[in-house]
Amino acid sequence: MKITIGAVCEPGTAMENKTGGWRTFMPVFDYEKCIRCAICEVACPDMCIYADQTTANDKGKCLYKADYDYCKGCGICANECPKDVITMTLEEK
């Protein structure tokens, strides 16, 4: 498989297998700070962050949530968020 540098690739096996069970950290969102920019959604390598359509504002922009069945807790979303909306928190089982 040839991959172009800078290309956005399809997610790996996370869409086929629930991987949230072995996560140590989980993303927690502070929606008071969210500017609805979608950077977290784009940055997630497993596409488990999604726009919650029920939260659309008057401009049609939504808040973002994580599908914890597929989130591996990598923290890329938190690292990329320009407003520090996402905090990686130790998950309690």
CB proximity list for 18: less than 8 A, separation 6 or greater: 69, 70
Which residues form the domain of 85?
Answer: 34-90
Indicate whether 15 belongs to any domain.
no
pTM of the model: 0.77
Chain Cα centroid distance, residue 14: 13
**51-68 pLDDT per residue, tens:** 999 988 888 888 999 999
Asked whether residue 76 is assigned to any structural domain, the reply reads yes
Judge whether 25 lies within some domain: no
Domain total for the chain? Answer: 1
Instruction: Let me know if residue 50 belongs to a domain.
Output: yes
Domain contains 43: yes
Report the length, in residues, of the chain: 93
Percent of the chain with pLDDT strictly greater than 70: 85
Q: Would you call 22 helix, strand, or coil by DSSP?
A: helix
Q: Is residue 3 assigned to a domain?
A: no
Q: Give yes or no for residue 3 having a pLDDT over 90.
A: no
Over the stretch 23-37, which tens digit does the pLDDT of each residue have? 899 999 999 999 999
Q: Report yes or no on 52 lying in a domain.
A: yes
